[in-house]
Chains A and B, each alone.
Chain A
Amino acid sequence: MCELELTNKKNKYPMKPIFVFTLICSAFLVYSFSIYLQPVASAKSELPGEGKMVWQKYNCQSCHQLFGLGGYLGPDLTNTYSEAGKGAVFIKAMIEVGTKQMPSFKMDETEMRALLAFLEAMDQTGKSDPRSFTIHANGMISQ
């Protein structure tokens, strides 16, 4: 297909770009499926998954983060559910009242319950606080 051939000096076999392309694509697919087939932190019920839909419906991700991923205007909410002085009541009040920056949201009871279940389940998956990590000599981190 391609005139150019990347030659392997040792055995002089041509390595056409199509072979390298196919090789990388295959490795990518194997890697992708290894992730799909090992679900991490599967929720015990459907409710947290439904809560994630509420999170998306009200575009909470525009301002808030989970594990440092998301918007930057508001605080990270990964562990707010279990944070001292916060928790479900605090979250519910913030959603209903809003702040100077954040509008108040008119959620129905079902949506509110699902969203709180989602935040509770996220809280149980791990700690997002960067201070809870240990830095190793090779630059890697662990918790």
Chain B
Amino acid sequence: MKNVGKLFFRTALLLLIAGLILGCFAAASYVWPGFLKSQLGFMAMRPLHVSAVLFWILIGASASVYFGLNQLKPNELKSSLAYTQYALWLIAIVGMFYSYAVGDFGGREYWEFNPIWALPITLAWIIFIIQFLRITLQIKGWPVYMWMWLTGLVFFLFTFLEGYLWTIPYFRNALITDMTIQWKVNGSMVGAWNQIIYGTAMFLMDKISGKENTGKSKLAFAMYFLGFFNLCFNWGHHIYTLPALPYIRQIGYAVSMTEWIFFLRIVWNWKNDLNEIRNHYSYFPYRFLMASNFWVLLNLVLALFMSIPAFNLYSHGTHTTVAHAMGTTIGINTMILMAAAFMFLSSGPSIQSKENKAVNGLFWILQISLLLFWLSLIGSGIHKGLWQMEQNRIPFAEMFEQLKPWFILFFIAGLGITLSLGGLAIHLLGNKRKNTF
């Protein structure tokens, strides 16, 4: 069959472009209150933006797994399953966008569309798991990235279904348990797609470095299990202030602190990583992977502080948490997916010099814009965090007005991200050359 990964990746890149543009529209509401209020309004623009980028990540991650599977077992992918999955994705995406456009909400935050559209998403994912197991069960001696893909696939399905427990009155009527489950789902689901994307990063590193054994080392497995353990149990740090069962708070805090091990490992490997950067710097997939490493470090530091309940009191409910979410989805997830897109959609290991110049420029505009974007969110988050702890605080609207300079910077930096990342996506979509995958 034709490589379905390419079709998935091109669709994902289109969603990325849509998500970026919609993100600018949603962000405009922070600078110009009531922007397009009578047409779509923030209420519709936010979920439109979130769903588009969410599906960029999900479909991009699926595309990466398809490319990986095709490498591991060439010509074994079942086209009927792949195209059925693709058709179900399309039905879901059209349904969701229609749902938002006509104001037919009803779902939870990040999945606000009419819950009926959860059905094709579930079916598509089940088909994806069947396809994955069909191929991988023939392989002996799984490298760690295959375990990570399996973990991500299974746990995404579990958490996605768990995210609809609210449709049952038993859960919905227990108001705090309902919110606990909602944030258990959000935390673990992000962990699930991170497993797929980090697995892809490991797969790419194996291919770039040519050292196929790194994916089978004890250290790689130890790190995977630690990440998996955090996926399952660290989500309690999202709900420290919620009056949930007390042990959830304690487990969330204790497990989150094990992430210091990831931090120490990055610092320990820093010198080796720098040497590797020098060797592979001109190779774009590698450069995006290194950018993701940098963003892992920044976001990990932020996450570690936010996971300490005493600090969390200041960051919870503020844009600092948005900075973390954006740093993760753009800085880590998107950088790794762009690395995969450059590897799978561009030709060969060397990028031509003409292409190099434009892509190089866009790469650096993206990194600088994202840094400013991230800092503007942290700046407004700290401002609000200090406000919410003041004894005699000014009204919310007044405090929000004071955040305007941060929001202007956030909007301008967002435009920079849109232009650079959108430019890279257009470049990849226009790349017609055959590749080695």
Contacts and interface: CB of A to CB of B under 8 A. Distances in A.
Contacts of B225: 20, 24
A1 B316 contact: no
Interface in A16-31: 17, 20-21, 24, 27-28, 31
A126 interface: yes
Interface stretch (B26-34, B276-284, B294-302, B422-430): B26-34
A100 B42 CA distance: 12
B77 to A, nearest CB: 22
Nearest to A98: B37
A59 B105 contact: yes
Contacts of A3: 140-141, 216
B111 to A, nearest CB: 10
A140 B309 CA distance: 5
Most chain B CB atoms below 10 A, which of A1, A49, A74, A143: A49
Contact of B177 (A41, A48, A67, A71): A41
Given A31-B232, A40-B243, A73-B30, A49 B172 contact: yes
A109 to B, nearest CB: 20
B37 A101 contact: yes
Contacts of B317: 65, 68-69, 72, 76, 130
A130 B221 contact: no
B215 to A, nearest CB: 9
A70 interface: yes
A66 to B, nearest CB: 7
B406 to A, nearest CB: 12
Contacts of B174: 39-43
A126 B170 contact: no
Contacts of A65: 317
Given A6-B221, A75-B396, A139-B308, A67 B239 contact: yes
A56 B37 contact: no
Interface in B306-328: 308-314, 316-319, 322
Interface in B174-226: 174-184, 216, 218, 221-222, 225
B287 interface: no
Most chain B CB atoms below 10 A, which of A32, A101, A140: A101
B66 interface: no
Contacts of B228: 21, 24
A35 B252 CA distance: 14
Interface in A103-126: 103, 118, 121-122, 125-126
Nearest to B166: A52
A116 B137 CA distance: 53
A141 interface: yes
A10 interface: no
Nearest to A54: B106
Given A4-B216, A63-B42, A72 B245 contact: no
A2 B175 contact: no
Contacts of B170: 39
Contact of A73 (B29, B172, B221, B251): B29
A62 interface: yes
A139 B112 contact: no
19 contacts: A3-B141, A17-B147, A40-B174, A40-B244, A40-B245, A41-B174, A41-B175, A46-B173, A48-B173, A52-B172, A56-B105, A62-B43, A69-B183, A71-B109, A122-B175, A129-B388, A131-B389, A139-B309, A141-B240
Given A2-B141, A36-B171, A58-B43, 5 more contacts: A49-B173, A57-B106, A69-B242, A101-B37, A130-B241
> Which 5 A-B pairs give the minimum distances between C-beta atoms?
A68-B317, A39-B174, A3-B141, A126-B243, A41-B176
Interface of A: 1-4, 6, 17, 20-21, 24, 27-28, 31-32, 35-36, 38-43, 46, 48-49, 52-53, 56-59, 61-63, 65-76, 100-101, 103, 118, 121-122, 125-126, 128-131, 133, 135-136, 139-141, 143
Interface of B: 29-30, 33-34, 37-38, 41-44, 46-47, 105-109, 112, 140-142, 147, 151, 162, 165-166, 169-184, 216, 218, 221-222, 225, 228-229, 232-233, 238-245, 248-251, 253, 308-314, 316-319, 322, 388-389, 391, 396
